[in-house]
Amino acid sequence: MNTLSTQGQASQTLAWNMKLISHNELAGFGGVGEGINMQKTADGRRILWLAHESAPKNFTGVDVTDPKNPKVVVQTDLPHKDVRSNSLDVVGNIMAVAYQTKKWGLKPAGMDLFDISVPEKPKLISHFDASGPCSRGAHCVWFVDGEYVHLTSGSADFEPINEKDDQFYRIIDVRNPSKPTEVGRWWYPGTRKGDKEPPVPRHPKFDAGYRPHNTNIYPQRPDRAYIGYIDGGAVVLDISDKSNPKEVTRWRYSPPYNGFTHTVMPLFERGLWVVSDECVKDNGADWPKLAWVVDARVETNPVSIATLPLPPAENFTKRGGRFGAHNLHENLPVETSHRDENIVLGTFFNGGVRAYDLSNPYQPQEVAYYVPGAPKLSPAGAIQLNDVWWDDRGLVYTVDRFAGGLYILEMNL
Amino acid sequence: MANLILEPEARARDPLSGRIPVSVVTGFLGSGKTTLINKLLKRPDMNRVAVIVNEFGEQAIDNDLVQVSSEQMMLLNNGCLCCVLRGDLQETLRDLFVQRRTGEVIDFNRVVIETTGLADPAPVMQTLMTDTMLMAQYRLDCVVTLVDAINGLEQIETMSEPVKQAALADRIVITKSDLATEEDIGRLEQRLRELNPQVPIRRAVNGEIELAFLIDVGLRNTKAKLEEVERWMGEPEHGEHAHRHDERVKSFALRYTEPFSWNGFAQCLEVLTALRGPDLLRVKGLVNVADHKGPLVVQGVQHLFHPPVELEQWPSDDRSTRIVFITRGITKESVANLFSAVGAIVPASEP
């Protein structure tokens, strides 16, 4: 490493055009997964809801009405250590939380719906059970319209050919929140026992499975589901008939790349997608894990035209933990979420949170970043920023995977 | 089908924010530039600064500050970077940004350029205001001119460089003030006010000066508030001064309540720079242009102007155009006449 650089020193905070305005370690449980959403309560408060990375905590609600002074208002526990929540979404006063178990057959596996009209006292409305002999339950929820939850989940009746392919895309009708009901599903052809298609090819080096990760649906195209399908690449489905989703396109770039497609975020006015991978190995073992800029003007022929430029891997892969792409701010179509077709925010584990200007998508430009110094007691020895939320006030909320908790930032863009 | 590349006007990014601020430290030989920079670099809150010096002289940087050094660069104990000007300034600034991007040097968040004592700061400022590649990454924050309390007055009376350094400054620091009498300093201050009536002046003893006085002078984004605009424009004029008698440097402000047409205003500046460019030392202003929501920020040094930047909104109810000029021999009347003659103003209400 060059001696005139300090990028590789995990203790150093690096910042450009982002300023920390407050930090909250979440009562000592600072490990947060990839569920962030913001509620505006009837009495005018803003509650930021965070799903934890792993047990013992389930989710935490933080009052961020005054972002300089965030206050934990509620923090809940999981029933046991072999389940994690990881993902949540909020519409109005209803919150959907995912539950995924470490092994098949365990419970609770699936999804809870909570009434959070009183944020201090979340009230369980219903549990959607997705447990089963070959199911770990749900990893990820997408809930933006108050009517349907788009779920990455296994189920009791699903037996995969390969155990890594145990989750698929499920559409759950929650218009009656006390009785969530599956109305449609789609799985990658060749992953379920009994499929007539040949079994899918495994990634030769990093077999992470064929499962959906994020399943994104937007009001601009209510008939499309944009899915990061892990080793299956980016998948777009026609869901105009929810009971019968049909494949529109798939864009698979691994191998030669290292798999684990995480998020497919369309920028509708631009004819672009931003597709992020997830880095899942420490110390650069699965580098490069990238965020791709894709020309999707012809949706059946996506073409990658750039990747979001990252700082030098030779410095960051030695900084501790993971370094590479992960979650994006997904322009959630809800009131409390900032939506932007030009500026994209993502978290890159020890690479921090970074903002990119896509005005010229052939040459994305980094315009801001914040890399917190290593949080105390982090097993990675470095920050591992996991997820990001950009609120309608322009503030940026980002969370550490292990220990650091919540960082609230102001951008100068 | 969507057009992948956005037109400039559709781009979201603020034309000012996100640029790395650049401070230019100028001052005549022996005015204490090195001492001031050394003091600044010892401050805990100045820990990610890249300093560009002309050479690593004997006393360029205190040895006890240096952690690692190469031929042209050194990393200081507190995390700052110091490098020698190579080739021209453009090249040095571009290289620094690339090295920052590739992680070869610290991710500095401010640049301080130390000019040579004999330097005319104008070319440095012009470079930062007109080189489009540099403007994408940097912005001129502040020109700080140091004036020696003992010799400053004589230098101003006998040489041209110190006059220009003072006239172009956003901030003036009188150094070695502990070595001069109050009377001498008073006379120097008065002389400096004649050359540059808007400039805030402070005294430093042994290089000690309040950091806030020297940084964040330029506008940081187009959401600038009133106090930020006033900070950049400088102190309001203190009435009609003796400085009107100065033969060489004149300073005045123009104010118009009616909006300009952009073409008319641009034409005025073109005529002015064509006729008197070299004598137009510094121009700063907010311009009310018809059909624009916020004021246009203009600034120029001699014949070169920064592309105008529109603020999101007016910082106060006062929507009049105000422009401050520091010139070499150009009078207020002649500029005002030119503005009327070119007919830029929708109708002129003043002066």
Q: Residue A331 has which token pair?
A: 């322009």
CB–CB of A119/A45 below 8 Å?
yes
Tell me the nearest-neighbour CA distance from A216 into chain B, angstroms.
Answer: 21
Residue B209 has pLDDT above 90, yes or no: no
Q: Residue B257 has which token pair?
A: 């309540």
Give backbone dihedrals phi and psi of B105, rounded to 5 degrees, phi first.
-130, 170
CB–CB of A353/A341 below 8 Å?
no
- pLDDT tens per residue across span A160-187: 999 999 999 999 999 999 999 999 999 9
Describe the strand order of the beta sheet including A395-400 as a list of residue ranges.
A18-24, A406-411, A395-400, A385-390
Length of chain A in terms of residues written: 413
- pLDDT tens per residue across span B224-236: 888 888 888 886 6
Q: Which residues of B fall within a CB distance of 8 Å from A14? A: 107
pLDDT attached to residue A8: 76
Q: How far apart are CA B252 and CA B247, in angstroms?
A: 14
Sort strands A385-390 and A365-371 into parallel, antiparallel or unpaired: unpaired
CB–CB of A252/A222 below 8 Å?
no
CB–CB of A227/A235 below 8 Å?
yes
Q: Give the confidence band of A110 by pLDDT, cuts at 50, 70, 90.
A: very high
Contact A361 B4 (CB under 8 A): yes
Provide the phi-psi class of B142: left if phi over 0, else alpha when psi is between -120 and 50, else beta. beta
Tokens 């992953």, residue located = A191
Which chain B residue has its CA at the smallest distance from A339's CA?
Answer: B12
Residue A219 class from Cβ within 10 Å (0-12 exposed, 13-18 middle, 19+ buried)?
exposed
pLDDT attached to residue B349: 47
CB–CB of A85/A52 below 8 Å?
yes
Residue A83 class from Cβ within 10 Å (0-12 exposed, 13-18 middle, 19+ buried)?
buried
Share of chain A above pLDDT 90, in %: 93
CB–CB of A231/A254 below 8 Å?
yes
Q: Give the one of B2, B14, B104 whose C-beta lies nearest to A297's C-beta.
A: B2
Tokens 């450009």, residue located = A16
Strands (E), A25-167: 32-40, 46-52, 57-63, 71-77, 83-84, 88-91, 94-101, 110-115, 123-129, 138-142, 148-153
pTM beyond 0.90:
no
Q: How far apart are CA A116 and CA A122, in angstroms?
A: 5
> Residue A24 falls within a domain, yes or no?
no
Contact B104 A2 (CB under 8 A): yes
For the segment A135-159, the average pLDDT, to the nearest whole number, is: 98
Q: Which residues of A fall within a CB distance of 8 Å from B2? A: 269-272, 297
Which chain B residue has its CA at the smallest distance from A294's CA?
Answer: B4
Share of chain B above pLDDT 90, in %: 23
Q: How far apart are CA B297 and CA B294, in angstroms?
A: 9
Tell me the nearest-neighbour CA distance from A5 into chain B, angstroms.
Answer: 4
Contact B106 A6 (CB under 8 A): yes
CB–CB of A130/A109 below 8 Å?
yes
pLDDT attached to residue B350: 47
Describe the strand order of the beta sheet including A14-16 as a list of residue ranges.
A14-16, A365-371, A353-357, A343-347
> Residue A11 falls within a domain, yes or no?
no
Tell me the nearest-neighbour CA distance from B7 into chain A, angstroms.
Answer: 8
Chain centre distance of CA A277:
11
Q: How far apart are CA B331 and CA B338, in angstroms?
A: 11
What is the architecture, at CATH level 2, of domain B244-342?
Answer: 2-Layer Sandwich (3.30)
* Torsion angle of C-alpha atoms A50, A53, A55, A59, degrees rounded to 10: 10
> Residue A385 falls within a domain, yes or no?
no
Contact A4 B104 (CB under 8 A): yes
Angle at B303 between CA B298 and CA B305, to 5 degrees: 25
Contact A359 B105 (CB under 8 A): no
Tell me the nearest-neighbour CA distance from A397 into chain B, angstroms.
Answer: 19
Where would I find the H helices in B131-261? 132-135, 152-158, 161-168, 182-195, 226-233
- A–B: how many Cβ contacts below 8 A? 87
When the candidates are 3.30.470.20, 3.40.50.300, 2.60.40.10, 3.40.50.720, the CATH number that belongs to B20-213 is 3.40.50.300
Range of the domain at A238: 32-335
CATH of the domain at A331: 2.130.10.10
Helix (H) or strand (E) holding A251: strand A246-251
Residue B53 has pLDDT above 70, yes or no: yes
Spans of all domains in chain B: 20-213, 244-342
Contact A362 B5 (CB under 8 A): yes
For the segment B53-74, the average pLDDT, to the nearest whole number, is: 69
Q: Which residues of B fall within a CB distance of 8 Å from A272? A: 2, 4
Number of domains making up chain A:
1
Angle at A330 between CA A328 and CA A336, to 5 degrees: 125
pLDDT attached to residue A252: 96
For the segment A273-281, the average pLDDT, to the nearest whole number, is: 98
C-alpha radius of gyration, chain B, whole number: 21
Residue A1 has pLDDT above 50, yes or no: no
